[in-house]
Structure 1
Amino acid sequence: MEEPWSPGLWERPGRFMAAEAGYPEALWVLAGAPLELTVSYRAGTRWGPARIREASYALETYSPHLDRDLEELAIHDAGDIALPLGNLGQSLARIEAALRRPYAGGKRVLLLGGEHLVTLAAVNAALDRYPDLVVVQLDAHTDLRDRYLDEPYSHATVMRRVLDLVGPGRLWQLGPRSGLREEFQLAREQGRFYHDVEEGADALAGQLAGPLRGVPLYLTVDIDVLDPSVAPGTGTPEPGGPDFATLLRALYRLARAGARLVGADIVETAPPLDPSGRTEIVAAKIAREILLAFTGEVAQ
């Protein structure tokens, strides 16, 4: 089997359900990035990828909402990216290097985090192939600080760094309800910002029928976008979020509008913080629905 990586770059935990395809034939490449170096409140994201994979086997491969089955897709689980403990720069560089080849080959990537900073590396890799990329963020937090505790690279600054990469007008933020006044001001001035995830999805869907038709999208889902009653296992929970059904309706709205999704991630799942285990189940189901909902061919 052709390997899209260098020796020593990957580790091989268990697979996500139905992700049995080899790399050459895969439409989707699934990867884990167990990064946990800049969390500011409660730890546990390094266990996210492994526990999301494990939780996936509590679900069915079939989605009754979409009438589609993972068994009908070619999904390759590449494993977890091996990250050097304590070295943030090298960790981000390894994530970017690991994902660059699947993107270059026209494959779609679903990344399981790990803290939200992994999105920066993933977007960097995707931009090599898709320079007109638009990023869609589902999150309880704006994550637009320029620095946090005097550090420019943090889970609290990740979308500011992404905005630096993609430029004004190419960041859509759906669901933020926490952040500094300056962050909300920046979100309104340089991006597209919606407190309500369904309202934001409707607005984006309208653009997908017009000026954003065919534009490649990258979707980042911070699990804390959901109300903590739905997903308590996350480092910085924020009350007042949508329920699970509302989040799925927003995703389905984008899929029905023909979103050209080339990559996605699900981040900030911290299993040790949720003894019930429901947060990783929620994350695994979101992963299933993303894989199934955005199955149309990606134009090269």
Structure 2
Amino acid sequence: MMRFLKSGPCIRDARWILFGAPSDAAVSRRGGAQYAPDAIRWESLHIETYSPYLGEGLGKASFFDVGDLFFVPGDIQSSLLKIEKVTSSFARKGKRVFILGGDHLVSLGSVKGVLSKFSDLHVVHFDAHADLRDYYLGSKYSHATVMRRVAEQLASPRHLHQFAIRSGTREEIEWGKRNVDLHLIDFLEPLKEVLGKLEGCPIYVSLDIDVLDPSFAPGTGTPEPEGVSVTDLFKALRMFKGHNVVGFDLVEISPPVDVNGVTSVLGAKIVREVLIMLGGDSVDQ
């Protein structure tokens, strides 16, 4: 089985657990996100282990890639339950989890799993889309409804912090303004302010690759123009240094619609930077 670059040799001693959630069941436009975990792993083998930005290498990171979960095609509920159970099992053992999606609905399962350990969890969400609809195409479970479902699970909907949102219906945007911590279009300054208030709080980060402008990340099923730059995204990720990040997911990369694999390479670099930055941090037992 192919594992992410420099994955550790022993799951027992790993502080972070990396696993793939290769689901396309909740996609509404173009599929292909199910192929992202292996594409990201493959491209990781072609990047350096060292980060000049952080001055460290993956040798510092304590993580283990356990591979992909197996899902019954089309069975959304069983897939979500499996993600929740696996994530909960690792979280309760003091591990932190990094999930490679898959469509964005996989975040619901992993957030619920982390909540079994951290009931006061805060979710920081980077995305082009609000994902706050109550129903989409007649379903409550879609990548267009995922953050509405996540908000319902948290101790308070205000524990959901959304950044760089630039797409949504009037109804879901208004619902978001009333119920969650919604930041439209703005990015770095609001994030800095919010993180200043979350010192010591358990944080789960959900990163939809379409938060980026499609010129930087064409390999996604629902591209949305006028996104943030890659440079600003990495600046944002480095703001989490020193914070209590207990879970992270990277979703909505679609290799079949990518150009020369650039989005999967970007995904691999995101994983590398996050693991180097946070992979050596201590774990709350």
The alignment's TM-score, normalised by the length of structure 1, stands at 0.91
Paired residue for 2:260? Answer: 276
Paired residue for 2:5? Answer: 17
User: Aligned-residue CA RMSD in angstroms?
Assistant: 1.1
1:247 and 2:233 are equivalent in the alignment:
yes
In 1, the alpha carbon distance for the partners of 2:111 and 2:135 equals 19
Once the 2 structures are TM-superposed, how far is the Cα of residue 72 of structure 1 from its aligned partner? 2.0
Paired residue for 1:176? Answer: 165
Question: Which amino acid in the other structure matches residue 176 of structure 1?
Answer: I
Paired residue for 1:94? Answer: 82
1:163 and 2:151 are equivalent in the alignment:
yes
The one of 177, 199, 207 equivalent to 1:221 is 207
Query: Is the 1:225–1:241 Cα contact (8 Å) retained in structure 2?
Result: yes
Query: Is the 2:15–2:283 Cα contact (8 Å) retained in structure 1?
Result: no
Query: Is the 2:218–2:259 Cα contact (8 Å) retained in structure 1?
Result: no
In 1, the alpha carbon distance for the partners of 2:281 and 2:174 equals 36
In 2, the alpha carbon distance for the partners of 1:250 and 1:213 equals 16
Once the 2 structures are TM-superposed, how far is the Cα of residue 206 of structure 1 from its aligned partner? 2.0
1:199 and 2:192 are equivalent in the alignment:
no
In 2, the alpha carbon distance for the partners of 1:229 and 1:61 equals 26
Aligned pairs (5 A) from 1:39-188: 39-166=27-154, 167-188=156-177
Query: Is the 2:60–2:276 Cα contact (8 Å) retained in structure 1?
Result: no
Query: Is the 1:201–1:254 Cα contact (8 Å) retained in structure 2?
Result: no
In 2, the alpha carbon distance for the partners of 1:34 and 1:242 equals 26
Query: Is the 1:109–1:264 Cα contact (8 Å) retained in structure 2?
Result: yes
Query: Is the 1:21–1:74 Cα contact (8 Å) retained in structure 2?
Result: no
Encode CA deviations 1:217-249: one digit per residue, 9 max, x unaligned: 000000000000000000100000111110010
Structure 1 gaps, min length 5:
1-12
Structure 2 gaps, min length 5:
none
Once the 2 structures are TM-superposed, how far is the Cα of residue 168 of structure 1 from its aligned partner? 2.1
Once the 2 structures are TM-superposed, how far is the Cα of residue 205 of structure 1 from its aligned partner? 2.5
Query: Is the 1:26–1:74 Cα contact (8 Å) retained in structure 2?
Result: yes
Identity, % of aligned pairs? 44
